[in-house]
Amino acid sequence: MNKVLPRLGFLIPPGNPNTEGEVIKMAGSEYSIHFTRMVAHGETGSLEGQDERNQAQIDHLPENIELLKLVKPAVVAMAHTASSYTLGKTGEAELIQKLEDQYQVPFITAFGSVVKALHQIKAKRIAFGTPYSEQNTLRCKNLLEAYGFEVVNFGNLPGVKNIYDETTERALQLVHQVNSPDADAIFVSGVGMPTIDILAQGEAETGKPIISSIAATMWNALQVAKAKSSIKNFGGLLAGRY
């Protein structure tokens, strides 16, 4: 008899070429993974028009969840960090409650997963970096502070033209750019920029836990779905060291 595995559902921005591959690379045999693309228009991945695309994705979440719910997921994860910067703390909490009440399925966000992960590793003083504009980087800072974290250093990756064209090498550059001796942990924002392959290396080089948006989202999805899995090679959080 075939055992029914927990199913993890991920909502992905329409132009993102990186996240599905990273989630698949992290996936284990104890659960299955399923994807639906969100709705946004304009030049995906560009820093210009990001607010408008964020809002479009938020506005279309009900129809996306309707589609993803057909596979009966144990959790639906919105794999897009910057949507939380558009929503703010109160707006995100209200949206999650509304969607969970309407669709009767646990709904998590990338940024909410980061907050949960930072609490899991007992980090209070945070250094962070983004591939976003200065405006959205400041929104990230404000949101971390709204959740009670102290931001000791932060910055955005220079020269970004399109987030989806960024590389793991540049993600590691960002880790070192924002690292601070005062930080308990380093947070790398941006699901669209590939990060998972530099987490272990970055931790070894900085001596600090490194949390990326997609690693935290995967970890949180597993927690919510009660899918027991230790994922090696992608940092201490996923390996279960905390």
pLDDT in tens, 80-90: 999 999 999 99
pLDDT at 113: 98
Supply the pLDDT for residue 5: 87
Above 80 in pLDDT, residue 1?
A: no
Each residue's pLDDT tens digit, 26-73:
999 999 999 999 998 888 777 887 888 888 899 999 999 999 999 999
Average pLDDT of span 195-209: 97
Q: What is the structure's pLDDT at 193? A: 96
Give the global pTM.
Answer: 0.95
**Which percentage of the chain shows pLDDT scores above 90?**
86
Residue 4 — pLDDT band, cuts 50, 70, 90?
confident
- What's residue 43's pLDDT? 80
Alpha helices (H) in the chain, listed in sequence order: 19-26, 50-59, 61-68, 82-103, 110-120, 134-146, 168-178, 199-206, 213-225, 236-239
Place of tokens 């009440």: 101
Is 171 in contact with 193 (CB distance < 8 Å)?
Answer: yes
The chain-wide mean pLDDT, for the chain, equals 94
Name the phi and psi angles at 223, rounded to 5.
-60, -50
Does 205 have pLDDT greater than 90? yes
pLDDT tens for 133-162 read 999 999 999 999 999 999 999 999 999 999
Residue range 183-211: average pLDDT?
97
With contact defined as beta carbons under 8 Å apart, do 131 and 168 qualify? no
163 vs 47 pLDDT, higher one: 163
For 189, the 3-state DSSP assignment is coil
Per-residue pLDDT, 2: 60
Task: Determine which of 18-22, 39-43, 208-212 has the lowest per-residue pLDDT on average.
Answer: 39-43
User: Average pLDDT of 209-219?
Assistant: 98
pLDDT in tens, 102-140: 999 999 999 999 999 999 999 999 999 999 999 999 999
Q: What's the Cα-to-Cα distance from 64 to each of 6, 13, 205, 215, rounded to whole Å? A: 20, 11, 40, 22
